Amino acid sequence: MAELVPTLPAVHVALFADVDPALERQIGFGAEEEGVPTRRVRADGADPVAAAYAAARSSSFGVGLAIGAGRIALHEGHMPPERAVLEAALGAEPARLARRFGGNAARLVVRLPLRLDDEDDAVSASAPVRERARREDSPSAADVATIVARVLARLATRGTPT
């Protein structure tokens, strides 16, 4: 009887031969930020959409990515083969795009909304700046000592039978 080797669930990533391996790392970083692992699989053919579909079908998560021919595609296994969830030209910043696609692949797995623009990649200039607490807003040393004493007293009573 053949021994079964368990495979961990992962988003499958297909890279064509002409693709910089650093893009695979960026995809992995994006997915890892959402807590989802990736695994490289073989890329067949010349169409990134078809390769992404094959990667999605082979993934237990049902999500796959492919990069090749200057394009990147994200596919979900239940979609029609010719219709990727997302597809884009690699453009001037392929590493940034690969990282976003990796994050979006993971977001499909964990059922979060996809990030579709650059707004999420950088802090907006209009974002509010968090102010540091003023010294007069801080608790006094006596207040801190009182709180610590109460916490220690409470911890001392835990685990003892009553």
Query: Measured between alpha carbons, how far is 157 from 131 in angstroms, rounded to an integer?
Result: 38
Query: Which domains are seen in the chain, by residue range?
Result: 11-119 (3.40.50.10150)
The pLDDT of residue 153: 85
Query: Measured between alpha carbons, how far is 89 from 82 in angstroms, rounded to an integer?
Result: 16
The pLDDT of residue 131: 57
Quick one: CA dihedral 40, 10, 54, 81, positive or negative?
A: negative
The pLDDT of residue 45: 86
Q: What is the mean pLDDT of each run of 10 residues along the chain (162 residues)?
A: 72 94 96 96 92 96 96 96 95 95 97 79 47 67 90 78 52
Residue 8's CB: how many other CB atoms inside 10 A? 7
Q: Which two tokens stand for residue 12?
A: 């499958």
The pLDDT of residue 116: 86
Label residue 75 exposed, middle or buried (CB < 10 Å: 0-12, 13-18, 19+). buried
Do the Cβ atoms of 71 and 23 come closer than 8 Å? no
- β 11-15/38-41 pair status: parallel
The pLDDT of residue 155: 82
Placement of tokens 């009887």 in the chain: 1
Closest CA to 74 of 92, 56, 47, 95: 56
The pLDDT of residue 107: 97
